[in-house]
Chains A and B, each alone.
Chain A
Amino acid sequence: DVVMTQSPLYLPVTLGQPASISCRSSQSLVHSDGNTYLNWFQQSPGQSPRRLIYKISNRDSGVPDRFSGSGSGTDFTLKISRVEAEDVGVYYCMQGTQWYTFGQGTKLEIK
């Protein structure tokens, strides 16, 4: 199984400041079709997960442009340029290259 490891697991951030979450996979996420199926989800308190970003860097419809994704191979990053109160929640990376596995989640809170 592909193991996804996120860091940090807890991320206190001041409003208006940037935030960054790292996600590493135990093996390359480059699929045989040439795509890299690394996606990011946001789970707000008491809510179901919501897709934010797919295939490393593509924002889903309605996702603010302060969210961005980057990376390649086994190392990926989700960045929030300026954290807002509504960004509180848990963020998960997920790989869809070899079946589907999720990271442990990173809990973002406001300082």
Chain B
Amino acid sequence: QVQLQQWGAGLLKPSETLSLTCTVYGGSFSDNQWSWIRQPPGKGLEWIGEINHSGNTNYNSALKGRVTISVDTSKNQFSLKLNSVTAADTAVYYCVRGPNPEAHDFDYWDQRTLVTVSS
């Protein structure tokens, strides 16, 4: 069974950098892609970006320039950094497995982690 667990600061001030790390337990870390997805309060889901075990990344064009996803295969971890945050970045952030090659979607999600940006 695959489990994902993330941690990071839950309260940020505008202009600070959001930083989250996700550890993967179970399954094969190297055989999968890993993504970050977010959900502003009361709103829908937005894919942020993806990474594989080699460190190859793709990002949502709407966030490109502010986002960096990195990987540490020795620890089965991947991380998200989002620069210059504003209130619009307040959201629940999910680390997820995927996209998978069969269905181009996301089959394992971690528990909800709310990040609030407020002065």
| Chain B interface residue number, banded | 20 to 34
Question: Is A104 an interface residue, CB under 8 A from the partner?
Answer: yes
B111 A96 Cβ-Cβ under 8 A = no
A102 at the interface (CB under 8 A from B): yes
Could you say which of A11-19, A20-28, A47-55, A70-78 contacts chain B? A47-55
Which of the residues B35, B46, B99 comes within 8 Å of A102, measured between beta carbons?
B46
* B16: Cβ under 8 A from any A Cβ: no
Q: Is A105 an interface residue (CB 8 A)?
A: yes
Asked if residues B105 and A51 are in contact (CB atoms below 8 Å), the reply is yes
Contact B111 A102 (CB under 8 A): no
Q: How many Å from the CB of A81 to the closest CB on chain B?
A: 23
Bound form: Cα–Cα A49–B99 in Å: 15
Are A100's CB and B47's CB within 8 A?
yes
Name the residue on B nearest A54 (C-beta): B103
Q: Is there contact, CB below 8 Å, between A54 and B102? A: yes
Q: Judge if A7 is at the interface, Cβ distance under 8 Å.
A: no
- Cα(A104)–Cα(B44), bound, Å: 5
Q: How many chain A residues touch B (Cβ–Cβ < 8 Å)? A: 26
A94→B109 contact, CB < 8 A: no
A50, B104: Cβ atoms under 8 Å?
A: no
Partner of B94, one of A48, A54, A103: A48
Minimum CB–CB distance for A15 against chain B, Å = 26
| Residues of chain B lying within 8 A (CB to CB) of residue A96 | 99, 103-105
The distance in angstroms between the C-alpha atoms of A30 and B65, with both chains bound, is 30
Q: How far apart sit A101 and B105, CA to CA, in the bound complex (Å)?
A: 10
Give the distance in Å from the alpha carbon of A47 to the alpha carbon of B99 in the complex. Answer: 20
In the complex the two chains form, is A37's CB within 8 Å of B103's CB? yes
